[in-house]
């Protein structure tokens, strides 16, 4: 009877430990949030996380990158936004650049499903000392899991937002 009780207690302890482990792992991945349009039928599924609309859609000093080169820098102050217009240019984020120091949000446009194969390791980007957000614009239907797989080490950034945008 005592052996049976010990086995039951050991099993219960193991289940509790595994539950805590998997719960902690799940919490680490919760920094990826989908943004829905106000007119979307899923708008009631909005996250409780505050969306930095002024950073995402405001008139901020911005660095534009396309075809692995900086094509434009707007504003007279240090850029707070970096817009990566194609996923194949993400290697440019690994190069040191003083202009990256005050960037608070990186916006990445994924133009097609195959762009998800150009994975971005956020632990390898260089010089983004003020980075707080990564915003992914999918021009195709994508899911939380696909965005999570695209971004490696996303837990190093406070919040990752993504939005499915249907180009007209």
Rounded to an integer, what is the distance from CA 60 to the centroid of its chain? Answer: 20
What is the Cβ-side half-sphere exposure of residue 72, based on CA atoms within 13 angstroms? Answer: 8
Is the model's pTM score more than 0.95?
no
Q: Which long-range contacts (CB under 8 A, 24 or more apart) does 70-76 make?
A: 73/99
> Pick the residue with more confidence: 41 or 131?
131
- Reported as a pLDDT band with limits 50, 70 and 90, residue 51 is confident
Nearest to 55 by CA among 31, 79, 25: 79
Distance CA 164, CA 160 (A): 14
Rounded to an integer, what is the distance from CA 48 to the centroid of its chain? Answer: 16
Distance CA 135, CA 119 (A): 15
- DSSP letters, 1-33, are -HHHHHHHHHHHHHHHHHHHHHHHHHHHTTTEE
**Predicted confidence (pLDDT) at residue 65 exceeds the cutoff of 70:** yes
Report yes or no: 152 and 146 within 8 Å, Cβ to Cβ. no
Q: pLDDT tens-digit profile of 93-133?
A: 998 899 999 999 999 999 999 999 999 999 999 899 999 99
Tokens of 155: 């837990």
The length of the chain, given as a count of residues: 168
Token pair 């007209």: residue? 168
pLDDT value of residue 167:
65
């Amino acid at each position: 009877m005592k052996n049976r009780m010990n086995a039951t207690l050991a099993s219960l302890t193991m289940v509790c430990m595994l539950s805590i482990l998997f719960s902690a792992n799940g919490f680490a991945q919760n920094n990826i949030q989908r943004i829905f349009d106000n007119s979307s039928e899923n708008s009631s599924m909005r996250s409780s996380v505050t969306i930095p609309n002024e950073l995402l859609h405001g008139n901020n000093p911005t660095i534009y990158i396309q075809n692995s080169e900086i094509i434009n820098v707007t504003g007279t102050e240090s850029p707070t936004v970096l817009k990566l217009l194609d996923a194949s240019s993400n290697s440019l984020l690994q190069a040191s650049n003083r202009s990256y120091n005050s960037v608070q949000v990186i916006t990445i446009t994924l133009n097609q499903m195959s762009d998800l194969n150009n994975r971005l390791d956020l632990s390898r980007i260089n010089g983004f000392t003020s980075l707080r957000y990564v915003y992914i614009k999918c021009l195709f239907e994508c899911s939380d899991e696909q965005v999570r797989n695209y971004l490696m080490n996303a837990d190093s950034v406070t919040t990752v937002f993504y939005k499915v945008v249907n180009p007209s």
